């Protein structure tokens, strides 16, 4: 017999299969109406509205946005930059780096480097300015940048 109880999220928020279905719908179409989702899920609009509200309050849904094709906007370069930061200044540097133009993601990582940054640029001159700006930040000791040659899959809409 399958356990139908909500599974605990690592941050203490319980979600069940209905919540997952709602999240899946929102990830595939963030503009889907509550009524449309309710119809497809065969529940009332009130049920969907209450669950979406609960997911927002729990911080599981933190906002709504469009999925943008950056290449079609002229952002032809994606760079993955590893950063080595002076001891004790990692969080300050990551917050500063996250504010820089072109930055899509900043990750605190294990291994030889302290952080990884994913950023997009229109051309090599923008990338050059970004790299120089990074190296001029206090406490950034070293960087290592790789350019993406081809994007096979880029989708942060993951739900299992």
Instruction: Name the stretches of the chain with pLDDT < 70.
Output: 1-13, 158-160
Instruction: Please give the pLDDT value at position 159.
Output: 61
Instruction: Please give the pLDDT value at position 47.
Output: 95
Cβ contact 59:45 at 8 Å:
no
Cβ contact 97:68 at 8 Å:
no
Q: What is the pTM of this model?
A: 0.75
Instruction: Please give the pLDDT value at position 36.
Output: 94
The two three-digit tokens of residue 159, written as one number: 């739900």
Instruction: Please give the pLDDT value at position 6.
Output: 43
Residues of the chain with CATH 3.30.70.920: 71-147
The two three-digit tokens of residue 10, written as one number: 């690592």
Indicate the angle between helix axes 45-57 and 34-41, nearest 10 degrees: 110
Cβ contact 64:104 at 8 Å:
no
Sheet holding 103-108, edge to edge: 103-108, 115-121, 77-85, 140-147
Q: How far apart are CA 22 and CA 55, in angstroms?
A: 10
3-class SS of residue 86: coil
Residues of the chain with CATH 1.10.10.10: 15-57
Instruction: Please give the pLDDT value at position 88.
Output: 82
User: According to CATH, what is the number of the domain 15-57?
Assistant: 1.10.10.10
The CATH class of the 71-147 domain is alpha beta
Give residues with Cβ within 8 angstroms of 16, minimum separation 6. Answer: 4, 5, 6, 7
**Phi, psi for 150 (deg, rounded to 5):** -150, 135
Instruction: Please give the pLDDT value at position 3.
Output: 39
């Amino acid at each position: 017999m399958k356990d139908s109880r909500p599974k605990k999220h690592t941050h203490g928020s319980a979600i069940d299969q209905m919540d997952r279905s709602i999240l899946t719908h929102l990830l595939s179409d963030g503009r889907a109406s509550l009524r449309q989702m309710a119809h497809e899920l065969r529940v009332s609009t009130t049920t969907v509205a209450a669950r979406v509200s609960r997911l927002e309050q729990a911080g599981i849904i933190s906002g709504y946005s469009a999925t943008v094709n950056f290449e079609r906007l002229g952002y032809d370069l994606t760079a993955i930059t590893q950063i080595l930061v002076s001891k004790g200044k990692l969080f300050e540097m990551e917050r500063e780096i996250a504010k820089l133009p072109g930055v899509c993601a900043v990750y605190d990582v294990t291994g030889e480097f302290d952080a990884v940054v994913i950023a997009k640029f229109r051309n090599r001159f923008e990338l050059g300015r970004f790299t120089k700006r990074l190296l001029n930040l206090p406490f950034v000791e070293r960087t290592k940048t790789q350019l993406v040659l081809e994007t096979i899959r880029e989708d942060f809409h993951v739900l299992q």
